Amino acid sequence: MTKHYNEADLLETYYMQPSEATAIVEHVNECNECQDRYRRLAQKLRDGASCSSEKPATFWSRQRLMIMRRVDNVRERSERNGRTFRVAAAAMLAFVLGGAVVYKSVEPALKAPAVVISQQAAAPAVTTTDDLQVPRDPWQSDELKDFGSVVQWESWVPESDPAASSL
């Protein structure tokens, strides 16, 4: 009883080196059953190779529409990304320039020597005949002389009261 080959084994002979397939080819040449299988397999391969690849016009128009949609979507997305990039670049430039301007305006103040303010003893007031100068006692001013008879608050406070002298 000889071994018969199935379609998978016979299909392998198409992809084998001729030296490797000699045993199978010899068996197919002698066995009628395997020859019939081999002929059916060869017919299937020829039919598959001669398959018509013609597509209807609707197929190609649908393909064209799908491709054009993708192209338009990519173009729109790239324009949107370009616009976003330009706005971000302008904002960054404004931020950097604003920082540089602020830095340059603060820089001279940082380099200026520190000014030390010392308290000095108050110099005695020089008396002049200037009308804008306020006298030592506000009740002695010309504007309040008219009201002196109405309000004489100094007469209410006794001269010996220490709290009155601190006011």
Give the pLDDT score at 156. Answer: 58
Which spans in the chain are helix H? 7-15, 22-30, 32-49, 57-111, 162-166
- Region 63-74: mean pLDDT is 93
In-domain check, residue 14: yes
The model's confidence at residue 133, banded by pLDDT at 50, 70 and 90, is: low
pLDDT in tens, 21-60: 888 888 888 889 989 998 998 898 888 777 677 788 899 8
In-domain check, residue 82: yes
Taking the model in full, what pTM does it have?
0.31
Q: Which of 88, 107, 126 is the last residue of a domain?
A: 107
The model's confidence at residue 64, banded by pLDDT at 50, 70 and 90, is: very high
Looking at the structure, tell me whether residues 77 and 35 fall in a common domain.
no
pLDDT in tens, 115-131: 667 666 666 655 555 55
In-domain check, residue 59: yes
Looking at the structure, tell me whether residues 60 and 97 fall in a common domain.
yes
Looking at the structure, tell me whether residues 57 and 99 fall in a common domain.
yes
- Region 60-77: mean pLDDT is 92
Looking at the structure, tell me whether residues 102 and 58 fall in a common domain.
yes
**What residues make up the domain containing 36?**
7-49
In-domain check, residue 25: yes
In the block, tokens 């597509």 appear at 55
Q: How many domains does the chain have?
A: 2
In this predicted structure, the answer to whether residue 18 has a pLDDT above a threshold of 60 is yes
Give the pLDDT score at 46. Answer: 85
In-domain check, residue 35: yes
In-domain check, residue 36: yes
Give the pLDDT score at 139. Answer: 64
CA–CA separation, 28 and 12 (whole Å): 13
Q: Which residue has the higher pLDDT, 156 or 35?
A: 35
Looking at the structure, tell me whether residues 85 and 57 fall in a common domain.
yes
Looking at the structure, tell me whether residues 19 and 57 fall in a common domain.
no
Average pLDDT score, the chain: 78
In-domain check, residue 33: yes
- Region 71-98: mean pLDDT is 93
Burial classification of residue 5, based on how many CB atoms lie within 10 Å of its CB (0-12 exposed, 13-18 middle, 19 or more buried): buried
In-domain check, residue 141: no
Give the burial string for 14-45 (b: 16+ CB within 10 Å, else e). eeeeeeebeebeebbeebeebeebbeebeeee
